[in-house]
């Protein structure tokens, strides 16, 4: 069974099933289609499936031409999970958010595997890419697969290979970002490495699914802790009248032993604000308190409140209150130059300002209409920036520093700019650093 699947991967006759066609699954689909595999994409969102089958993209940095090319190479998208029997591999790329108690929400992963279980068969390789706590693959997925009578490592295979996407980064693609892979058994590992080696330049094997799960958490906790550090230093530097961005730029000239991380209005994206809590939650099972990680999470989660306090102080100096002020938030995606809204700190800023009585609007060239989100709701469209529109707001809050913004125009015409990204290097009467 193992050799048959390896042969099908090698001669590209294997059908690649990808479950979840979002920011992770869609680029992966394009890469498998590019090298000559037939790809079958699964998603519970009929709108996404319809868009893809019509040759349309719903992710800004993925063009419709890429979707059309994939369709011409045999790609299909469907909401019919019974078609999983047609695929040789099932790669799960579904969300792993937190619930309202900041605990792991594995419902998307578990609902997905439960939907697939009736259609699992001998010869299937299942790969989980969703970030999660160590133990998820062998504690949750393994018993579900074996409930079908399959023997994982013998006639079916299971690996964990965490996604490493960086939307909007032109320097790295799905192909060039090294891929970590851990299998439940050596046979699982061999097949997982063979599968990903067909489309990724470098695959990094690790000893187990748990090691692979922990690797992904370490990558993101590393960023979260270091961003927490510079966010805390930003507050101290501000009290001392020092520009933390100037300090970081100077420190970054050291050619060894220092990596620059930058403060901001909070953490965004599908990884950095969420993943540390997956480890802190699981660590409690072993009687371990992850104080370092939780402290960084506390600092980072307080940053929107800090920024709002800077807005309030800046307006107060101009004899205005947040209540009744017109505030324009610049950039509502979680990072510059993308349309990705997941866990965006800008949305928390908008909600806090709205709750304090501000009349909130936003401008974002990448997000023309405020999207439907699970926990946030605004009936707003992006405001076009002009000298007149900028001058009409009591405060312009720079939350995400997209390159498409005309920063000279903003500085020239806004009554007040609160800069949470350190974009403005020179001091000005109408600019306040946050």
Question: Catalytic positions, please?
Answer: 271
**Tokens 């505030």, residue located:** 327
- Is residue 337 within 8 Å of residue 304, measured between CB atoms? no
Which ranges constitute the DSSP H helices of 45-141? 46-53, 64-72, 107-116, 136
Tokens representing 231 are: 């966010």
> How far is Cα 63 from Cα 148, in angstroms, rounded to an integer?
39
> How far is Cα 33 from Cα 224, in angstroms, rounded to an integer?
34
Phi–psi pair at 91, nearest 5 degrees: -100, 120
DSSP-derived 3-state class of residue 396: strand
List Cβ<8 Å contacts ≥24 apart for 402-409.
402/330, 402/331, 402/333, 402/336, 402/337, 402/364, 402/365, 402/366, 403/336, 403/337, 404/337, 404/365, 404/366, 405/330, 405/331, 405/363, 405/365, 409/385
CB atoms within 10 A of CB 21: 25
- Is residue 17 within 8 Å of residue 127, measured between CB atoms? no
């Amino acid at each position: 069974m193992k050799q048959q699947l390896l042969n099908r991967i090698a001669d590209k006759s294997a059908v690649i099933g990808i479950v979840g066609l979002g920011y992770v699954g869609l680029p992966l689909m394009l890469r498998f289609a590019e090298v000559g595999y037939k790809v079958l994409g699964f998603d519970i969102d009929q709108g996404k499936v319809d868009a893809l089958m019509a040759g349309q993209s719903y992710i800004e940095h993925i063009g419709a031409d890429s979707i059309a090319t994939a369709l011409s190479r045999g790609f299909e998208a469907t909401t019919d999970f019974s078609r999983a029997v047609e695929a040789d591999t099932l790669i799960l790329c579904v969300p792993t958010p937190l619930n309202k108690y900041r605990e792991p929400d594995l419902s998307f992963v578990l609902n997905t595997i439960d939907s697939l279980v009736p259609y699992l068969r001998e010869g299937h390789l299942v790969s989980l890419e969703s970030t999660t706590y160590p133990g998820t693959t062998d504690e949750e997925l393994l018993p579900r697969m074996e409930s079908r009578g399959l023997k994982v490592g013998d006639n079916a295979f299971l690996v964990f290979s965490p996604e490493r996407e960086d939307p909007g980064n032109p320097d790295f693609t799905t192909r060039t970002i090294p891929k970590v892979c851990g299998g439940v058994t050596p046979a699982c590992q061999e097949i997982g490495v063979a599968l990903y080696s067909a489309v990724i330049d470098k695959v990094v094997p690790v000893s187990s699914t748990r090691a692979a799960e922990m690797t992904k958490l370490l990558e993101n906790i590393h960023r979260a802790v270091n961003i927490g550090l510079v966010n805390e230093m930003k507050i101290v530097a501000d009290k001392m009248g020092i520009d933390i961005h100037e300090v970081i730029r100077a420190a970054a000239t050291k050619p060894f032993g220092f990596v620059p991380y930058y403060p901001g209005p909070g953490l965004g994206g599908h990884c950095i604000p969420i993943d540390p809590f997956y480890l802190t939650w699981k660590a409690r099972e072993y009687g371990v308190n992850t104080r370092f990680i939780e402290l960084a999470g506390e600092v980072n989660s307080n940053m929107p409140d800090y920024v709002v306090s800077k807005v309030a102080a800046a307006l107060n100096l101009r004899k205005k209150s947040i209540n009744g002020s017109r505030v324009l938030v610049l950039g509502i995606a979680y990072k510059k130059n993308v349309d990705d809204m997941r866990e965006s700190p800008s949305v928390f800023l908008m909600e806090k300002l709205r709750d304090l009585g501000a009349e909130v609007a936003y401008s974002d060239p990448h997000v023309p209409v405020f999207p439907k989100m699970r926990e946030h709701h605004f009936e707003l469209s992006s405001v076009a920036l002009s000298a007149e529109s900028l001058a009409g707001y009591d405060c312009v809050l720079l939350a995400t520093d997209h390159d498409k913004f005309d920063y000279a125009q903003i500085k020239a015409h806004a009554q007040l700019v609160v800069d949470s990204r350190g974009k403005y290097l020179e001091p000005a009467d109408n600019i306040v650093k946050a």
